[in-house]
Amino acid sequence: MYQSKIAGIGYYVPKNVYTNHDLTRFMDTSDEWIQERTGIQERRFADRYAETTTTMAIEAAKIAIERAKTTAQDIDFIVFATLSPDYYFPGCGVLLQREMGMHEIGALDVRNQCSGFVYALSVADQFIKTGMYKNILVVGSEKHSFAMDFETRSRNMSVIFGDGAGAVVLQPTQEKGKGILSTHLHSDGADAEILAMYYPGAHANKWMKDKPPFPDQELGGLFLTTEQLESGAALPYMDGPAVFKKAIVKFPEVIKEALSTHSFTEQDIDLLIPHQANFRISQYVQKLLGLDDNQVFNNIQKYGNTTAASVPIALCEAWEAGRIKDGNLICLAAFGSGFTWASALIRW
């Protein structure tokens, strides 16, 4: 059985920079308020019409493919993670395949929100290990800005998110002890509704029936009225404190699980790259695990939370900055809506 290695990596972020001060033009907030709660200073927003989740993914993929010393025609499978697809259906995987002129290869779309990239990496890892595929493109890409509500009522959500994409090319290796050592995936839907977007979907009726506004009963709960749309019924919802409490438990758990599987300790980690959800979460986890600043990489200050794109963007930035070297032990970890959480342990 083969091991999987990351043969190439790339990322793309839009050129449009929006600082916390810029957001004060649209809502009642401040740089101090945002930084105190999230650590975010600025984020990137894609061009409204010229850039999509897929086009950003393509830019990241081109870099990853080139660094892997291969071509788009050599890619034999795509795993695409996003919660903000170009279309509700079809998924972005086939759009990327089309635009990059790839062969009629398989394309799998992963909907695990902030944990999406680590889940996608795990899926790709299994295909490489069994020898089914030899060049798998794994992508995390998000365009949040087109769906964000930039009004005071939504500031708890809209100040957090940004746009961007990251990609890796996974290939087999027979170097003993190198590549992806293991991945660890978990979920618990008991509190799924505390971080969710209830519409579209009939299942929302179950959870929204006692929470106005609720769709017109005479229409069978199928439609949102103009008043309900204006009230924010179709916007994402997050109970921030509740999510924070769950994240600071599951993050360290899944990191320790990865380490203990291989009889490593926290001090064996050369670099931890957590999902960039909230700088305060990363700081808490770092302190809990007893890691120093050189063992953790954060870039949420510059990009905000790019959900499925955050881990590959941070991974690529860290590599480009020389923070990742041959032989290093790298841990990726993520926690997000669902709830889902995951980790991957990699010997670079």
**Residues taking part in catalysis:** 114, 275, 305
CA atoms within 13 A on the CB side of 240: 13
Q: Quick one: DSSP state of residue 161? A: B
Give CA separation, 160 vs 34, 74, 117, 167, 265, in Å: 8, 37, 19, 22, 32
Q: Quick one: DSSP state of residue 22? A: H
225 neighbors 217 (Cβ within 8 angstroms): no
H/E run at residue 311: helix 310-320
Among residues 161, 180, 166, 171, the alpha carbon closest in space to that of 316 is found at 166
Exposure class string for 204-231: b at 16+ Cβ within 10 A, else e? bbeebeeeebebeeeeeeeebeeebeee
Q: Please list the helix, strand and coil fractions of the chain in percent, rounded to the nearest 5, in that order.
A: 40, 25, 35
User: What amino acid occupies position 260?
Assistant: S
Cβ neighbours of residue 9 closer than 8 Å, sequence gap 6 or more: 63, 64, 67, 166, 167, 168, 169, 312, 315, 316, 319
